[in-house]
Amino acid sequence: EFWSSNKALLNIMEKNYFENNSTPEGLKQFLLEGDSACLTAKDDAELAIKSLGAITWYLTRCQLDHQLLSMGQFTVYTPVDLSQQLKEESESNSITARYMVLDAVTLKNIHVLENSIGGTQGTLLSKLDLCCTQFGKRLLYQWLCNPLISITSIKARQQAISALLEEPELMKEIRSVMSKLPDLERQLCRIYAQSSRGQLASHPDSRAIFFEEKTYSKKKIVEFSSVLNGFQLVQDIASLLQNSGVGEKSILLQQCSHFPTMDPPGQLPDLSDHLKFFENAFDHEEAEKEGHIIPRPGVDPDYDNAVDALNEMDKLLKKYLKEQCEHFGCKVTYVGTDKKRFQLEVPESAAKRAGRDYELQGQRKGFKRYWTVKTKDLLEKQIAAEMMKKNVLHGLRKRIFSRFSERYNDWSTAVQSISVLDVLISFAQYCRSQESEVCVPQFVKPE
């Protein structure tokens, strides 16, 4: 269903897809300047917003709208067949200023991705694909489908490959670490989808009760631990590159390996503080074994409050039991289970001291069991505190994932940096594997 542009924008704003109601920069370019409510499209952007409305309608129907739109990843796509005048005007930021246009027929005819019989033998992809990670392989696929025509960008890649060729041991060590990386790109999206940011409480999956909930939960926690371990390996790769000094020989390697705070600065975020927090947030081994996360003190305020409430109840129960021991002049214990808990078991010899406030619940040889108004009240409060803790634990994995997703841009940037590094090393490995000499072509601008 194609809504009007106003209805599409109104629907998007009413559902609060974006954090703090802040409109993503990629979407702002299509909105009328001066409209603080962000409900009016520019005259030349009506069709684009209508198309966005149709996508939103379909995603809503599939219960995927919040999961995808809340990420705020809007990118303006400039078609490659625009007029020459528009190309010149937008040369600094248009896709046409950097990449060659290759259609599907051309890609097949020159055997870039597949050969004439639909296989991969002898294709450019099969020759160059020496990547160690799945996300690196996907980036290589994109690079081959969109060859560079920007001379500056081509030289940057050539410079990076030349620098890597001078460090064969470094490449070997990095590839060894990279081979242990899971598919961080896909797993990041899954973690986001399982967080409260990517899945509202009203979503059917949030209300569903799974028969194998413990098994599913274990799988998700194991995957989360795998992601954290993967990003720790990313930190190790960054350290290897930084210690080698190879980033100083190439601007592209510098961007992939240097933190923004370093001199010279790069684009790879320093994840050490984030990783340390999640490493100490809970016992990973126990969580993977039991299928639920028990946070350490200070990590989750709701869980801390629930634990404090149970500890307070424990003190009240011990205090009341002590009072009863003094009242009866002998040892009194709590007995019972579930909703019959906290019955006072009193020796029969001292039971004569039980007054009207003591309600007989049962007896066994030599003992009688009583309830009082106080024990009933304590039981109600105990059950309420236990239920609060249970509810907190039920949503704790989602909150931990949400805490992780708060730094989604940092995690994503790190994956992008490693994927670029993986492809560059793949190119360098291909060069090293050639028995004959490999040339480095020089490109010049047409006069």
In CATH, the number for domain 104-294+406-433 is 1.10.1420.10
3-state helix, strand, coil in the chain (%, to 5): 60, 5, 35
| 198 pLDDT more than 50 | yes
- CB of 368 within 8 A of CB of 360? yes
Tell me which of 1.10.1610.10, 3.40.50.720, 1.10.1420.10, 3.90.1010.10 is the CATH number of domain 301-385. Answer: 1.10.1420.10
Which of 144-153, 177-186, 412-421 is predicted least confidently? Answer: 144-153
180-183: Cβ within 8 A, 24+ apart: 180/230, 180/233, 181/132, 181/133, 181/230, 181/233, 181/234, 181/418, 182/226, 182/227, 182/230, 183/133, 183/134, 183/135
Q: 285 CB contacts (<8 Å, ≥6 apart)?
A: none
Distance of CA 101 to the CA centre of its chain: 33
In CATH, the number for domain 5-77 is 3.30.420.110
| 93 pLDDT more than 80 | no
Helices (H) and strands (E) in the chain, counts: 20, 4
Distance between CA atoms of residues 323 and 344, nearest Å: 12
| 445 pLDDT more than 50 | yes
Same fold, 104-294+406-433 and 301-385: yes
Distance between CA atoms of residues 342 and 42, nearest Å: 69
| 377 pLDDT more than 60 | yes
Distance between CA atoms of residues 324 and 370, nearest Å: 11
The one-character DSSP state at 271 is: -
Domain layout of the chain by residue ranges? 5-77, 104-294+406-433, 301-385
The string of pLDDT tens digits covering residues 305-344 is: 999 999 999 999 999 999 999 998 999 999 988 888 999 9
